[in-house]
Structure 1
Amino acid sequence: MNGARWLVQALAAEGVDTLFGYPGGAIMPFYDALHGSDLKHVLVRHEQGAAFAANGYARASGRVGVCVATSGPGASNLVTGIADAMLDSVPMVVITGQVSTALMGTDAFQELDVFGMTMPIVKHSFLARRIDELPRMVAEAFRIARSGRPGPVLIDLPKDVQVGDASHLPAHAPLPSDPVPAPIDASLHAALALISQAQRPVVYGGGGIALGDAVAAFRTFVDATQIPTVLTLKGLGALPAAHPLSLGMLGMHGSRAANLAVQESDLLIVVGARFDDRATGKLSEFAPNARVVHMDLDACEIGKLRHADAGVRGDIRTTLTALTLPCAAHLHGRNGAARRAWRAACQQRAREHAARYDAPGDSVYAPALLKRLSELAPEAVVACDVGQHQMWVAQHWHFSDPRRHLTSGGLGAMGFGLPAAIGAQLESPAARVICVSGDGSFLMNVQELATVARYRLPIKIVLLDNQALGMVRQWQELFFDKRYSEVDLSDNPDFGAIASAFGIRALHIDRADGVEDALQQLLDAPGPALLHVAIDQAANVWPLVPPNHNNAQMLDPELDPGSASAAIVSPAEDSRHALPA
């Protein structure tokens, strides 16, 4: 029984059944210990794929995802996936090999200070220097990863610790997650007072709803109070898209109904959201007349970017449950007529500004294709890459559960979609998993087609190909006087041929009249399949809130044909609004 074998048994005791990784010199004892164990190790083809796959596994399940890599370049290749997990609050345990303790600090072969390098992007880091430290480290790593606001934890494991004698170590005993604090009564009373006075309230829901296992409580609160509701990118699905009180996503590419409701509201009931700049637009002009009730588990988020008139820190599910009946009673009493009129106005605006799918011409209209695919596969888990297609999915896919929408929100990492889909499929083999990608993002981790093929994962890939870095091209068109710099991807490879080379069925469409048949063939394919969709390079994502503008100042040529050609502002005028990937 050496340290590596003890660790394999400890992972099993923690409930780990699947881990994602790539072997190398400093982690080789661990891989030797995996041989013959009950743990399912998934061999990816790049360590970034391992981190994103563990990330997707955790997002889809709510359980801790685990990835493994060797020292040096293996560890550094995990960094992007770790950062993504940190920014989107995804529970992960990351295990890296390290050179032997006697060689640390000597610039040994493949030595890298991954402990220091990842410190800003993990909840906690561990560096094992003695084998006796392993029981505490492993138990603490899993406890920290899943407790409170989830996130990634690193265990850096020197080679001599892996091979050291562990026969004296006790069997691993997992630690319980930290208890979730309940909200204090005074904060609940303050929230109730504000809600009872509001005439134009809006519920603003975010990713914390799913993280807090509060989806059912959230829906009950919205149904009972009958308050119009907007959602962030990470909150989509917390309220079904077809719900009569859902106004859609708010923010830079949010719906007109959602953005205008927020801007006109007199109270924002913020549930598990963090006032991200992509949601708020120009923060100083965001919901200018609204007071704020902010519910969040993480005390650091309350008041961080916007003053909370009533901050309710604690378990979101408990908070919503405690407030539902009192709020409903107050809202249907005093000011009831004003609130009914407000609700009707919001719903009317949502109907008037609903997305249209009757685009002219013969080419494929991506929003219509995605909307139709969501109708054909309503229970699918969707893993998205980053770019225009990510926003089209957010706008036009009808999500009914936030854990079915896997997207890189805070980091905006291209290359996320395919490995995240792999993680989701392995977490739930019977689930229908769809990866929506763009031609730019897809090539960033295209090697993971080998992983899909090896394990015969029935993932369906929809690749929207406009032969450009679409979102960057759109910004250069609108804000940089059409000076297109390094966005041309007209030399893309034959994506169908690439898929076929891996033994994956490939389909292609470039006309709108072929969409229905192609989508049906894709979904009916017995194993993995890729649908290559050629779309217009000039297609843009609308609406769009320009940088340094508030959310009421949306560009949308469908409603205002001159808006997109108007001189707006250079992004350089507000450095807080970075160009999207």
Structure 2
Amino acid sequence: MNKTSGSKALLDELTAQQVEVVFGYPGGAVIPLYDEVYQEKYHNILVRHEQGAAHAAEGYAKASGKTGVVFTTSGPGATNALTGVADAKLDSVPMVVFTGQVGRALIGTDAFQEVDIVSMAKAVTKATFQVLTPSELVPTVRKAFQIAQDGRPGPVLVDLPKDITTADVYLPSRPAPVSETLPDDNQVQFQEVWETFKKAKKPLLLVGNGAAKEETSRLVREFVTQTQTPTVATLLGLGVLPSNDPNFLGMGGMHGSYAANQALSNCDFLLNLGSRFDDRLATKPSEFASQATIAHFDLDPHELGKIITTDYPVVTDAKVAMEWFVNASQSEPTDDHTAWLAQVQSWQSEHPFTYQKETGVMKPQAVIEAVSQATHGQAYVATDVGQHQMWVSQYYQFQQPSHLVTSGGLGTMGFGIPGAIGAKLAHPDQDVVLFLGDGGFQMTSEELDVIRENQLNVKVVMFNNHALGMVKQWQDLFFDQHRSRTVFADQPDFQKIVQGYGLDTYRLSPDNWQAELENALASSRAAFIEVEIPADENVFPMIPAGEANTNMLLG
């Protein structure tokens, strides 16, 4: 076995894992590691805050399907990254976070910049490790990547005491890969689900994050075309079926389409492919899809039956399941459900997404539509969290899976800028457009310097309504318009802030915004595009908290 330092052994193993970029920030406990980064000229993106590192790694992983990798120092460096780690856990993002730690002799002494990050991270990771002997280092790294990627993906944290990174490490041989096969009993379950599905008069397919892979999406499209099954997506399932597909009803749930929510409430068979029935979709579980036989396909057995009791809970990979169902649909026709197709099309026509157009007023929906048209629905679209995120889900015509790069489960304001950075690094030759609000902008605006330094052509569209719009909307609708600390009476000059980072800036004018937007999008440089929107523009439809999917406020 070859001998090397712990730091070099780590970088060599990352190379073996085909890691192309690391998002990190140096500090005392990781100086030896960063010295090796220097000597190896390893591709480390220097973020400006460790939360930015975690979100950028998320954006990279969401857009590429690869594992995102983070380096932080000990103590505050590690704790700063935890929000991004928690975000990755809820959105099933493969990520490995390497945190520095004080030397082994100092662990437990409350040394400078020491925290028990392993204990803190257990609730928001798939697994945590602290490397306490040099011989454990490489096997632990390999295990971390395997856990992050296997089954339902998620984040893994590896804590590295400083003296481990300087110790002599003997490199173990690489074990042969282990292939996983579909258990035979799934074939039986698939057959049972298919026998029920093909007899359904009102079938509905629900696609979530678990189906948002290129090959799975291709199979879903083939299955939907073959069976003419109406389809609803979750937020993270947008793009699995093209938004303009005649069988696509839009996003379901709290800010989903009228047709999607009516279909969820009236279908007689619901096939859930890779969605976890969270509270933004199943807003009132006791009344959710109450007329339907429900099949739930998910990689994570803990999600089956957790929120919604299902008739056919199946632990499976979405791609494997769709391969089986495509083959079945090609050999056995489904029952006629022409009347059901006519009904869902009627719902779509009855209450489409709509907004009030006003002369001299820039509406966020119109801007998103314009960006969608300019990019042909093919851009990687990052968002922060709030009203703009929901408008994007409604008005951007996604054509591909995993092209919406957003914080779904945790709803983390501040995700947008670093998330877009990660997406652009994953796809440097593709259009990347970020939508965010004036609230979230100020949470991670320091990461604009990463865009400048790395010359990343990211288009940043900021909707400025001088408020925390989504919270204000709830206050107006359900708390007697008590706008408690949600309106920004005074704001900084965002144009000057962004100009300080060396980016081109645009402030769209109501009488010529289309041409100005077109010019900004056509530029070969990063651009910050500020759009003043009406303060009281709200997101509709909306299902009040705890109400059934049919109880929608339409605006």
Q: TM-score, normalised by structure 1?
A: 0.92
C-alpha distance 546-331 of structure 1, shift in aligned 2 (>3 A): farther
* SS of residue matched to 1:125: strand
* SS of residue matched to 2:236: coil
- Match 1:101 to one of 99, 104, 129: 104
- Counterpart AA for 1:414: M
Q: Distance in 2 between matches of 1:542 and 1:479?
A: 15
Residue 418 of structure 1 is matched in structure 2 by 417
- Match 2:540 to one of 539, 542, 547: 542
Residue 499 of structure 2 is matched in structure 1 by 500
| Residue 170 of structure 1, CA deviation | 3.6
Residue 284 of structure 2 is matched in structure 1 by 282
* SS of residue matched to 2:542: coil
Deviations 1:131-170 (A, max 9, x none): 110121011011111111111111100001111122x334
Q: Does 1:238 align with 2:240?
A: yes
* SS of residue matched to 1:412: coil
| Residue 315 of structure 1, CA deviation | 2.2
The question of whether the paired residues in 2 share the 8 Å contact of 1:148 and 1:180 is answered with: no
| Residue 175 of structure 1, CA deviation | 6.7
| Residue 361 of structure 1, CA deviation | 3.4
The question of whether the paired residues in 2 share the 8 Å contact of 1:180 and 1:315 is answered with: no
Deviations 1:350-379 (A, max 9, x none): 133222355123211111110111110122
More off after superposition, 410-419 vs 190-199: 190-199
Deviations 1:435-467 (A, max 9, x none): 111000110000001111111111110000100
The question of whether the paired residues in 2 share the 8 Å contact of 1:385 and 1:408 is answered with: yes
| Residue 412 of structure 1, CA deviation | 0.3
- Match 1:343 to one of 341, 344, 348: 341
Q: Distance in 1 between matches of 2:552 and 2:178?
A: 44
Q: Does 1:6 align with 2:9?
A: yes
Q: Distance in 2 between matches of 1:304 and 1:124?
A: 21
Q: Does 1:120 align with 2:118?
A: no
C-alpha distance 180-535 of structure 1, shift in aligned 2 (>3 A): farther
Describe how 1:467-546 pairs up with structure 2 within 5 A: 467-511=466-510, 513-546=511-544
- Counterpart AA for 1:224: Q
Residue 363 of structure 1 is matched in structure 2 by 361
| Residue 503 of structure 1, CA deviation | 0.9
Residue 458 of structure 2 is matched in structure 1 by 459
Q: Does 1:267 align with 2:265?
A: no
Q: Distance in 1 between matches of 2:330 and 2:513?
A: 45
Q: Distance in 2 between matches of 1:321 and 1:181?
A: 12
- Match 1:63 to one of 49, 62, 66: 66
More off after superposition, 428-437 vs 51-60: 428-437
Q: Does 1:179 align with 2:177?
A: no
Residue 149 of structure 1 is matched in structure 2 by 152
- Match 1:204 to one of 198, 203, 206: 206
Q: TM-score, normalised by structure 2?
A: 0.96
Residue 77 of structure 2 is matched in structure 1 by 74
CA RMSD of aligned residues (A): 1.5
Q: Does 1:163 align with 2:162?
A: no
* SS of residue matched to 1:227: coil
- Counterpart AA for 1:289: Q
* SS of residue matched to 1:497: helix
C-alpha distance 461-74 of structure 1, shift in aligned 2 (>3 A): same
Runs of 4+ in 1 over 6 A off after TM superposition: none
Q: Distance in 1 between matches of 2:405 and 2:328?
A: 34
Q: Does 1:47 align with 2:46?
A: no
| Residue 177 of structure 1, CA deviation | 6.7
C-alpha distance 175-491 of structure 1, shift in aligned 2 (>3 A): farther
Q: Distance in 1 between matches of 2:25 and 2:326?
A: 48
Residue 409 of structure 1 is matched in structure 2 by 408
The question of whether the paired residues in 2 share the 8 Å contact of 1:422 and 1:457 is answered with: yes
C-alpha distance 287-230 of structure 1, shift in aligned 2 (>3 A): same
| Residue 181 of structure 1, CA deviation | 3.0
| Residue 90 of structure 1, CA deviation | 0.3
The question of whether the paired residues in 2 share the 8 Å contact of 1:224 and 1:325 is answered with: no
Deviations 1:171-216 (A, max 9, x none): 6x37747625356222112101211221111111111002594111
| Residue 18 of structure 1, CA deviation | 0.5
| Residue 39 of structure 1, CA deviation | 2.4
Q: Distance in 1 between matches of 2:355 and 2:368?
A: 10
- Counterpart AA for 1:318: V
Q: Gaps (5+ residues) in structure 2? A: none
The question of whether the paired residues in 2 share the 8 Å contact of 1:143 and 1:178 is answered with: no
Q: Distance in 1 between matches of 2:213 and 2:92?
A: 8
The question of whether the paired residues in 2 share the 8 Å contact of 1:205 and 1:231 is answered with: yes
- Counterpart AA for 1:398: Q
| Residue 300 of structure 1, CA deviation | 1.8
The question of whether the paired residues in 2 share the 8 Å contact of 1:12 and 1:39 is answered with: no
- Counterpart AA for 1:374: S
* SS of residue matched to 1:204: strand
| Residue 38 of structure 1, CA deviation | 4.5
| Residue 519 of structure 1, CA deviation | 1.6
Q: Distance in 2 between matches of 1:428 and 1:341?
A: 43
The question of whether the paired residues in 2 share the 8 Å contact of 1:85 and 1:91 is answered with: yes
C-alpha distance 177-208 of structure 1, shift in aligned 2 (>3 A): farther
Residue 574 of structure 1 is matched in structure 2 by none
- Counterpart AA for 1:504: L
More off after superposition, 310-319 vs 431-440: 310-319
C-alpha distance 274-212 of structure 1, shift in aligned 2 (>3 A): farther
* SS of residue matched to 1:519: helix
Number of matched pairs: 550
- Counterpart AA for 2:203: P
| Residue 228 of structure 1, CA deviation | 0.7
* SS of residue matched to 1:402: coil
Residue 28 of structure 1 is matched in structure 2 by 31
Q: Distance in 1 between matches of 2:159 and 2:182?
A: 31
The question of whether the paired residues in 2 share the 8 Å contact of 1:418 and 1:448 is answered with: yes
* SS of residue matched to 1:361: coil
Q: Does 1:554 align with 2:552?
A: yes
Deviations 1:379-429 (A, max 9, x none): 211111000000000111011112211010000000001001111111221
